[in-house]
Amino acid sequence: MDQVFAPAPESKTELGGYRILSSTAGIRVSPLQLGAMSIGTAWSDLMGSMDKEQSFKLLDYFFDASGNFIDTANAYQDDESEVWLGEWMATRQNRDQMVIATKYITDYKSYAFGKGWISNFCGNSRRSMYMSVRELLQKLQTDWIDILHVHWWDFTTSIKEIMDSLHVLVEQGKVLYLGVSDTPSWIKALEERMAKGEILRGTYSNGQSEDERKISEALEKIASGHGTEFITAIALAYVRAKAIRVFPMTTFRALSIKLSQEQVEYLESVKPFEVGFPNNFIGPDPHVTA
């Protein structure tokens, strides 16, 4: 009985400082999300890759360090990312301890069938969504998806069809939370529905890459002051300082770096970040950003 009220043990690393995902999604996740795009070897000619042994070592390291939040997608490494992640969870018997975010939309079958036969294995449609979810549940060896993202907007399907189809998946218990990424901000109806459920890639995400802010020298200056050469860690520390519900998908170093208000203001002065309308009209939400 004493164990019920005993305090939690000290976490091995800062990854154990679990956070509530959002104001409307009470699931607890590690403050950094592990991106699984490089888990697999099928895309080795395009980008980074890891064989199964290396992938399992990475996943073990992340899990042993108290990480529980992993991002993947239906097409990553021609299915290998989800398949190997599913095998790892089954082998380690830790599915219930993990929070898995995945995505649908991208073609994930042309590598097997050729481009001429994949018209309904991709896109925003209900059919594409159904087939992707059916298969990713099998690949991940799970009964449910913690977070399903609409990966990108392809302008072929109505908002109503997408939202009605996602709602069915939630009602069936196959999906717990919904998210959207790589989608134009003017699709307000979709964003408003998603915001009630869940996760948007917003102001401080790479969705602003069309006007990429080049502040490398400023990042290097701040990095030097913190005794590190990794400017990405400074960039992530900045994002975490500005928005409490941002979960970067990379380096642990950002967790131990705390930027002062003066350093945050210095970075913003180098190249002002134009958040665009309506944010520059109504101002920031004090509940989600600094």
Q: Which residues are catalytic?
A: 76
287 SS3 class: coil
More confident residue, 155 or 145: 145
Q: Return the pLDDT at 109.
A: 79
Find the largest Cα–Cα distance for the chain: 63
User: Averaged over 41-63, what is the pLDDT?
Assistant: 93
Q: How far apart are CA 235 and CA 167, in angstroms?
A: 36
Give yes or no for residue 224 having a pLDDT over 80: yes
Pick the more confident residue, 144 or 8: 144
The Cα 244–Cα 257 span in angstroms is 15
Q: Are 19 and 32 in contact (CB under 8 A)?
A: no
User: Do the Cβ atoms of 99 and 29 come closer than 8 Å?
Assistant: yes
Local confidence band at 232 (pLDDT 50, 70, 90 cut-offs):
confident
For residue 200, the model assigns a pLDDT of: 52
pLDDT-derived band at 241 (thresholds 50, 70, 90) equals: confident
Ordered by start, the domain boundaries in the chain are 14-184, 210-270
User: Average pLDDT for residues 11-33, to the nearest whole number?
Assistant: 91
279 pLDDT more than 70: no
DSSP, res 69: E
pLDDT band at 128 (very low <50, low <70, confident <90, very high): very high
Pick the closest to residue 95 from 63, 72, 73 (CA basis). Answer: 63
Could you report the per-residue pLDDT of 204-216, keeping only the tens digit for each?
A: 455 444 344 456 7
- What are the tens digits of pLDDT across the range 257-267? 788 888 888 87
Does domain 14-184 fall under CATH 3.40.50.1820? My reply is: no
* DSSP label at residue 50: B
With bands split at pLDDT 50, 70 and 90, how would you rate the model's confidence at 236? confident
Query: Does 159 score more than 60 pLDDT?
Result: yes
Residue 278 — pLDDT band, cuts 50, 70, 90?
A: low
How far is Cα 246 from Cα 104, in angstroms, rounded to an integer? 21
pLDDT at 211: 40
At 244 the pLDDT is 65
Q: What is the mean pLDDT of the chain?
A: 82
| Half-sphere exposure of residue 110: CA atoms within 13 angstroms, side-chain side | 10
Arithmetic mean of pLDDT, 229-235: 78
Question: Looking at residues 96-112, what average pLDDT do you find?
Answer: 89
- Residue type for position 214: K
Share of the chain above pLDDT 90, in %: 42
CA 111 to CA 129: how far, in whole Å?
19
Which of 276, 285, 233 has its CA nearest to residue 257? 233
14: tokens are 């800062």
